[in-house]
Every structure is written in C-alpha cells, then in structure tokens.
Amino acid sequence: MVLGTYKEVVTARSTDKAIQKIAQDGGIVSALFCYALEEKLIDGAVVAGPGKDFWKPEPMVAQTADEILAAAGTKYTFSPNVLMLKKAVRQYGLEKVGTVAIPCQTMGIRKMQSYPFGVRFLADKIALLTGIFCMENFPFASLQTFISEKMGVSPELVEKMDIGKGKFWVYTADDVLSIPLKETHGYEQSGCKVCLDYVAELSDVATGSVGSPDGWSTVFTRTDAGETIFKAAVEAGVIETKAVDTGKFGLEMLTKLATQKKEKAMKEIDRRKDMGLPVPFKASSEKEDPLANV
C-alpha cells in the first residue's frame, strides 16, 4: 500500500479566510493546530517558523494562533523540528505537544517513541503529529541557486514557493516565476534518495496538495488520535471537506507519485547495498512488499 495505512482520505481546506490567504494549499496544518490550541488538545506546537534569513526556517514553539499563522506555508529546506520537541517540553513546560513533520522527521519521532533509549518523559507528550507529503528536501544553498541564479530574483522579494505541475514556482508581489522541476534535480539532499515514504505514513494526520484542486489539500487520517482531532475540527466547522477525487488528478496521481518515489528509492537502496554502503532499510530481495517503508 503505497499511501500507507489510513482510516479515511478526503479533500479538505480551512474555512478561515485569513488562513486560506496565507496557507500553502488548504491550510490544514494551520487550521488543525489553531483548533487544537483553542480546544486545549495541545498546549503548543513545534512548527517551522521564520528564521533570520529569508526562507531559512527555524524550528519554533508556537503557543498562540498568531504564532501558528506566522509559520504558515511550506519551506523547501531544513527545519529540524524534532530538535525543538525536547525544548517544548523541558523549557516551555508543555504537556501536550503538536508538531508538523515531513516523513523522515516523523520517522525520527516515532522511533523515539517506540525506543526512547535516552529520551526522558517526551514520548507520551506528542499529542498531534501532522505529517506533510514530501518528495525531497533541498539544502538552503540549492534554494538560493534556483531563486537567485536560475530565476534572477532576490530571495527577500519571494512571498511564496511551491512545487506543482512539474515546476518549481516562486511568487513575488507582482510576478510568478517557475523553472522545470528537472532543473532542480541534483540539488536535493542525498539522504532523501533512500526515503520510502511520500505521504507521511506514520503521522497521525497526513496532508499535502497532490490529489486535490488548488486551494485544497488531500488529508489522510491514520491513527485513532489523528482521526479524533480531525473529525472534531470538521465538526466544529474550522475545516470543510469533500470527497477526494479518485481519478487522474486525484488519488491516481497521488498513488503514481508515491509509487515513483518508492521505486526510485528502492533502486538506490539496492545500489548502495551492492556497493557495501550502510542503509537502514531492507534490500528489495529481503522483503515481501518491495515498496514497504521497512
């Protein structure tokens, strides 16, 4: 199952106009955290907040809706959110922590929860893990290359970045620029090339743009905790849903991309293992389902 185990998949968006305006797609992560804060289901969330440099995010503990919204939107470079979880509990004294994580970060958090060798009193305080779909991540210098060199734009003019329809997009106040995704190849980090998870298979709730129309997000509820919070948010009217498109631009597209990522990664895992390099995942010959995240 290339989309991971899930209870339900829907197309959804925040009903809050302010969130819709600044969010990447449907504003699901922002809406969920704002709702969870409001209802005291979490008392803070670790998010990728604005950093000192433009578009270089810093992990941050958000405890108000304003702080959540200040971190809205996708950043296409590293924000080591997992690192902030301990601070959220130790320094901010949070008991119920939410966080947003790409698949590899989700894996770090889940491994810590199952095997908390050196991590005290944190595993049971993760109340909501929102995962986002991720094909690959870029070092900051790669983003600079795309924006400054390939598009000729100064990074501080950039208001939004996006990946979709085979292109890397940059929005400024009065321009929309793009380069073909092909031109970003070779600039992604190497660690991504053995990653078998596109749709945050181990999150409580996973979301991303692929599979839904512009301004909406595809949402998977995976765990009991994730299902409970998402359903409550829908019932409270902060998120609206509609049936997911199962066709060519819906689940079919999502399945295709997830399969592509996994097949490519599996090939790379096998290649590295043949060279005698360490990879924590099984070779394709060692597992029943060659596309499973094991």
Partner 1 sequence: MLARIKQFLGIGAKPKEVPKEEVEKVAEEKAKPRIGYVHLSGCTGDIMSLSENYDILAELLTNMVDIVYGQTLADVWEMPEMDLVLVEGSVCLQDEHSVKELKEAREKAGLVVAFGSCAATGCFTRYSRGGQQARPDHESFVPIADLVKVDCAIPGCPPSPEIIAKTVVAVINGDMDYLQPMIDLAGYTEACGCDLQYKVVNQALCIGCGTCAMACQTRALTMTDGRPELTSARCVKCGICYVQCPRSWWPADRINQDLGL
Q: What does the alpha-carbon distance between residue 231 and residue 208 come to, in Å, rounded to a whole number?
A: 18
Contact between 74 and partner 1 by CB under 8 A: the answer reads no
Q: What does the alpha-carbon distance between residue 157 and residue 92 come to, in Å, rounded to a whole number?
A: 34
Angle ∠(180,77,64) on CA atoms, nearest 5? 125
SS3 223: coil
Q: State the number of binding residues for partner 1 (CB under 8 A).
A: 57
* Burial grade of 294 (CB within 10 A; 0-12, 13-18, 19 or more): exposed
Question: Token pair for residue 97?
Answer: 């922590």
Give φ, ψ of 187 to 5 degrees: -105, -5
Q: 234-273 mask for partner 1 (x: CB under 8 A)? A: --------------------------------------x-
Contact between 131 and partner 1 by CB under 8 A: the answer reads no
Question: Which long-range contacts link 15-21 to residues 24+ away (Cβ below 8 Å)?
Answer: 15/237, 15/238, 15/239, 15/240, 16/238, 18/69, 19/69, 19/72, 20/215
Contact between 154 and partner 1 by CB under 8 A: the answer reads no
Q: What does the alpha-carbon distance between residue 146 and residue 273 come to, in Å, rounded to a whole number?
A: 32
Contact with partner 1 (CB under 8 A) among 95, 115, 148, 249: 115
Our CB check for partner 1 shows the closer of 117 and 243 to be 117
Shortest separation between residue 89's beta carbon and partner 1, angstroms:
10
Our CB check for partner 1 shows the closer of 5 and 64 to be 5
Contact between 148 and partner 1 by CB under 8 A: the answer reads no
Of residues 21-40, those binding partner 1 (CB under 8 A): none
Contact between 140 and partner 1 by CB under 8 A: the answer reads yes
| Beta-bridge mates of residue 294 | none
Q: 175-204 mask for partner 1 (x: CB under 8 A)? A: --------------xxxxxxx-----xx--
Give φ, ψ of 38 to 5 degrees: -55, -45
Shortest separation between residue 118's beta carbon and partner 1, angstroms:
3
Shortest separation between residue 269's beta carbon and partner 1, angstroms:
11
Our CB check for partner 1 shows the closer of 3 and 29 to be 3
Contact between 281 and partner 1 by CB under 8 A: the answer reads yes
Reported as half-sphere exposure (CB side, CA atoms, 13 A), residue 76 has a value of 24
Which residues in this chain contact partner 1 in the complex, by CB under 8 A? Answer: 4-5, 59, 77-78, 80-86, 101-102, 104-105, 107-121, 123-124, 137, 139-140, 189-195, 201-202, 222-224, 272, 277-281, 292-294
